[in-house]
Structure 1
Amino acid sequence: MSPRLFDGLVLPASADFHVHLREGAMLEAVTPTIKQGGVDTVFVMPNLVPPITTVEHALAYKSAIAKYTDAKCLMSLYLHPSITPATIREAKKAGIYGVKSYPAGVTTNSASGVVDYEQFYPVFKAMEEEDLVLNLHGEAPPAEDITVLNAEEAFLPTLLDLHRRFPKLRIVLEHCTTAAAVEAVKKCGPNVVGTITAHHLSLIIDDWAGDPINFCKPVAKLPSDRVALLKAATSGNPKFFLGTDSAPHPLRAKKGGLGAHDAGKCAAGVFTQPYATQLVLEAFEDAVAKGVVGQSQLSKEVLEGFLGAFGRNFYQVEPSRQKIKISAKDEKVIPMLSVSGGSGTDSTAADVVIPFRRNSPIYSLEWIQA
């Protein structure tokens, strides 16, 4: 058996610029797994119920998260009609880092999302002036000619238009899934970047069609799109960095119902948090084995950049002073994460979250003294 590519690798702690930590019992279960994935800095999504639309709510949520982790949490607001330029100025003073835009109806807890961006132009102008980040879920809202396969590409003209109107506004095109998205980000100026998830570096459409555990929004696309994401992530281009979009759901929700005899649409989201760094490295190693990426491309600078340095620089946060070590042992992804206090008629499914690549071999990770 040939030696593993990253066995013994030591890196600065990773940073994950797109996480969902939820509330209540789910928050308590999920938040400690941030550090398990080698991450010490996270950008936290605001799509709670109700969504986080005030600075007060964001700061209260940050305090709740801090009960379960010492990771640095960058907080955000949910773009909503109640957000005003005054809200933006208050957010800047309070240390809020960004405002997340969800097109209405595209994904989990997006019912309060955006229908028309023009109404928010005064808000975007204030964000440009205060240097807050606009985080875009880059999919067009549901329509007769929009599907999960073309929703992202249909959104890209909106990205380009917003960048044209607000050239100094820092914008993140979140969780890029297509070659077209990669090219759109490249086409924009240095204020526009894209995050890439760990699971989209591995998945294609056949991997989620019929498998609710791998189903997320935006969905994984074609093999050529996966290649484009891998090439972007290993290019050393600071426009692309890690944002896992790790999104835990109870198994009952992933199965499409609240109990053994209920059925419905399965929840969109892939849970990768406990293995964020390791899953990226596994995807890179597989890409080298398949000849998609050359091993010489994977320098420590490239790895450190994608896994944290590029994102930290964009969000203007300090480099990590902590170190992690990657080892090739006999570890496997846990089969499930237990969540206390679950509800639902099917108790066997109500209280567990199934992680991405459950029971599969995975790199081991440990924190070491810097």
Structure 2
Amino acid sequence: MQDITIRRPDDWHLHLRDGDMLKGVIGDTSRHFARAIVMPNLVPPVVTTADAKAYRERILAALPQGHSFEPLMTLYLTETTDPDDVQRGFESGLIRAVKLYPAGATTNSQSGVRNFENAMPVLERMAEIGMTLCMHGEVTASDVDIFDREAVFIETVLDPLRARVPELRITMEHVTTSDAVEYVKASTKNLAASITTHHLIINRNAILVGGVRPHYYCLPVAKREKHRLALRAAAISGDGRFFLGTDSAPHVDAAKECGCGCAGIYTSINTISCLAHVFEQENALDRLEAFTSLNGPAWYGLPANEARVTLRKHAEPLVFPAKIETGAGPVTVFDPMFPLHWDVVGSIA
């Protein structure tokens, strides 16, 4: 056996949903993660501080007994978002970030931004108070190929916005391309990026080769192998601008396995095992803690967790369920397509 001990991880991009689904998935996150940035794309979305307060209370009420977990709340940016409400929520400590969804970019993004000019008062206020904008970085124009939408977003939306409001702190969420990695690395301030577990493991072949596999379909969609390798290099680099945001996104199987399936991959239950495997493959286990537990808190201005967790490599592969059962229906668990040997076996307070 081989053991490593790291500070307890955080997840800087997480979907918990609501109602029965929330109750069914929250334990898979709170078992291993101390904190998570919680996405606001509910139906209806979390658009005000009052909405976020109520949602946070529902999350805490759903926690399994004995679990210690802090949800870090976000607001869904619309073209009518009130800058004063955003500032009050941020200064109260309840709201950690605002989430930008270009309208139509992904699940429940219909209320997102179409005209960036209408959102500028909020973005300018956020720059003034040092608040972070979390961006789903894709354009939605029908004439832009889905595999190019992140790169085009950087060129046509993100770069002009940063030139216009250079003091705005921006997290490029779930980056999927070498273009995004190089853009972050070339920046000098106010820019960081989260990377998902699944984008370190799959490329677009996983979705399309041998038939359409809906449980590997996510947005942003997985790209070519060269992009996956660029993401791996960034994750293991130790560069403080890159950190874990799982984008774990549960959907019931019926919503995935249909004529127009939902985008999203459920990874909360086995993310730590997957990441230990990836970092071991890259001879970088000594940098796993930076990616999962140190870089994210530093970016968001929070202390690293004092509690430690021990990961152990077992000789025999671990067995994870193919599906989890929730009150909303069954949810298929991410299959990395290789055996997993690393497990969280203990914690140190």
TM-score interval (norm. to shorter): over 0.9
Deviation at 1:57, TM superposition (A): 0.6
Maintained 8 Å contact 2:48/2:86: no
Partner of 1:213: 215
Give the letter aligned to residue 14 of structure 2: V
SS in 1 for 2:269: helix
Partner of 1:72: 70
Q: Structure 2 length normalisation: TM-score? A: 0.93
* Structure 1 position 352 matched with structure 2 position 325: no
Deviation at 1:90, TM superposition (A): 1.6
Alpha carbons of structure 1 residues 358 and 153: separation in structure 2 relative to 1, 3 Å: closer
Partner of 1:369: 348
Partner of 2:161: 162
RMSD: 1.5
Matches within 5 A, 1:151-190: 151-157=149-155, 158-190=157-189
Maintained 8 Å contact 1:160/1:188: no
Deviation at 1:212, TM superposition (A): 0.5
Maintained 8 Å contact 1:39/1:277: no
Maintained 8 Å contact 1:106/1:142: no
* Structure 1 position 317 matched with structure 2 position 315: no
Give the letter aligned to residue 20 of structure 2: A
Q: Percent identity among equivalent residues?
A: 34
Matches within 5 A, 1:257-272: 264-272=259-267
Deviation at 1:79, TM superposition (A): 0.5
Deviation at 1:319, TM superposition (A): 1.3
Give the letter aligned to residue 194 of structure 1: A
Deviation at 1:109, TM superposition (A): 0.3
CA displacement, residues 128-157 of structure 1 (integer Å, 9 cap, x when unaligned): 11211100000001322x122111111002
Q: Which has the higher mean CA deviation after the structures are superposed, 129-138 or 327-336? A: 327-336
Give the letter aligned to residue 337 of structure 1: I
Partner of 2:54: 60
* Structure 1 position 119 matched with structure 2 position 121: no
Partner of 1:51: 45
Q: Using the alignment, how far apart are the partners of 2:320 and 2:114 within structure 1?
A: 39
Partner of 2:79: 81
Partner of 1:261: none
Maintained 8 Å contact 1:139/1:155: yes
Q: Which runs of 5+ in 2 are unaligned?
A: none
Partner of 1:135: 134
Q: Using the alignment, how far apart are the partners of 1:356 and 1:151 within structure 2?
A: 24
Partner of 1:254: 256
Give the letter aligned to residue 49 of structure 1: V
CA displacement, residues 103-136 of structure 1 (integer Å, 9 cap, x when unaligned): 1111100111111212211111100112111000
Q: Which has the higher mean CA deviation after the structures are superposed, 127-136 or 87-96? A: 87-96
Q: Using the alignment, how far apart are the partners of 2:3 and 2:30 within structure 1?
A: 19
Alpha carbons of structure 1 residues 47 and 189: separation in structure 2 relative to 1, 3 Å: same
SS in 1 for 2:179: helix
Deviation at 1:88, TM superposition (A): 1.8
Partner of 1:109: 108
Give the letter aligned to residue 39 of structure 2: M
Q: Structure 1 length normalisation: TM-score? A: 0.88
Q: Using the alignment, how far apart are the partners of 1:83 and 1:174 within structure 2?
A: 21
SS in 1 for 2:344: strand
Maintained 8 Å contact 1:25/1:339: yes
Give the letter aligned to residue 76 of structure 1: T
Partner of 1:241: 243
Q: Using the alignment, how far apart are the partners of 1:193 and 1:359 within structure 2?
A: 29
CA displacement, residues 296-329 of structure 1 (integer Å, 9 cap, x when unaligned): xx253x2211112110011111211111111123
SS in 2 for 1:97: strand
Structure 2 residue corresponding to 1:149, chosen from 126, 132, 147: 147
Give the letter aligned to residue 229 of structure 1: L
